[in-house]
Chains A and B, each alone.
Chain A
Amino acid sequence: AAVQDLASAEVEAGISTLIAVLGYNNPTAAVAAVQGLIQIGSPAVQPLIEQLDDYNYGARAYAIRALAAIADPRALDILLASAATDFAPSVRRAAAKGLGALRWSELPTNERSTAQVKALETLELILQDADWSIRYAAIVGLQRLATTSELTSQIQGKFAQLLATEKDAAVRSRVQFAQAQLFSITSD
């Protein structure tokens, strides 16, 4: 048990070190630290949320990318808030993408659909953003949500509606790509 405690203490210290690296303004080191945090997985989730850097949006974007990739649903609230209201587009994009692919099955059954609907509502809200890259990321999030939740037909309807209103050629292409992906999955 002592060895186990020691091992987990080392993992914890390692997690904090990796999180600190996200704020060093060294992209190569930060990308490596994100990979390390993703490999650690679930034990890194709570520290990532608690140590989210309010002042350095670069560090915050890396932390959100790590949370998005780990996909632990404990990150739901922080991803919802970041996607909707962070001032940095890079943070919002990472959060939007992450919102689509949380491991919903880890939530108790009675919370699952509420959580998925929250993700859907936030992604639909940011589809109206003036920044094309936020809309693009919202579509990526929605496409992923359509494959991980029961909201597939609702999201397909949203995509059809979007093609009628979206003016940006790149965002339109991404909607079409998402539709094709969903069609090939739902028609299997």
Chain B
Amino acid sequence: MQSNWSQSAAETEGLTVEQAIANLQSPDLSLRYYAAWWLGKFRVNMPAAVEALIVALEDEADRTELGGYPLRRNAARALGKLGDTQAVPGLIRCLACEDYYVREAAAQSLGMLDAPAAILPLMELLTGGVEEAVPVPGRPHLTQPYDSVIEALGALQAKQAISLIQPFLEHPQAKVQYAATRAMYQLTQEDSYGQSLVKALEGNDLQLRRTALSDLGAIGYLPAREAIARCAVENSFKLLALKGLLEHQAKLHEAPTQDTIQVMTLMDSLL
């Protein structure tokens, strides 16, 4: 596999790769937690790092007062960034973890990996439909990480999940609606879904405008380029969304096209 991390940049941040991997087993739990984040941040996709992070998905030592597993969350997040499919079985097991945030991180990472084996386990988290997708009393989240699960199914091209995802277009929470809209676009390529995300760029809530921007970037919806550049959001978010459009085109065409040149011209204007 191609190594995609920058050693010089990473090591200026205070750790070496060997230290970070060793720290995943440190008696000091905060060092374990930081090491997992660090390996993901700098995309250290060496086999030794991947193996150590997979072991950390089963960690029992690092617990919060409410029973959460902070190290598992960070390890799951990091493994999505490292692009090694050896992590898939461990991440699928995490979908059953009692900690909501471990399930959320695992769903997000499975969507980033080439993981067709994750489709059925992800679909199972949606089986109760919108009726069961309600807030957990006393917690700031729903029963499942619906938005992350739906986004992962879209990214994995899980066409068999279309009928399961479609009802979530009507979910009361906007971020779940957007996730369903984004996945439906990826699964059907129907323009109307892209257009509803473009419309969401004009909403009143800054956080939701940022979400819609990142959704448009994730699906590479080219007709949104002008609306993205105009949207009332910080330039760094717009640049990232336009980068998504550009990357999507770069997969289809080796050399720049008229479309990608327009996207880059917009990006240049946001620097």
Contact = CB atoms under 8 A, between A and B. Distances in A.
A172 B250 CA distance: 9
A136 B232 contact: no
Given A169-B251, A170-B246, A173-B250, A97 B256 contact: no
Contacts of B6: 128, 130
Q: Do most interface residues of chain B lie in helix, strand or loop, or is the interface mixed?
A: helix
Nearest to B239: A133
Size category of the binding interface on chain A: 20 to 34
Interface string B1-23: 01010101110000000000000
Interface of A: 27, 89-90, 93-94, 96-97, 128-130, 132-133, 136-137, 140, 167, 169-170, 172-174, 176-177, 180
Contacts of A27: 232, 234
List 9 A-B pairs, minimum CB-CB distance, nearest first. Answer: A130-B9, A169-B250, A97-B271, A93-B271, A170-B246, A170-B243, A169-B247, A177-B256, A137-B271
A174 B264 CA distance: 7
Nearest to B3: A167
Contacts of A169: 246-247, 250-251
Interface residues of B, number: 27
B260 A177 contact: yes
A132 B246 CA distance: 13
B85 interface: no
Given A137-B271, A172-B250, 11 more contacts: A27-B234, A129-B9, A130-B10, A133-B240, A140-B271, A167-B2, A173-B264, A176-B255, A177-B256, A177-B261, A177-B264
7 contacts: A97-B271, A133-B240, A136-B239, A170-B247, A173-B246, A173-B264, A177-B256
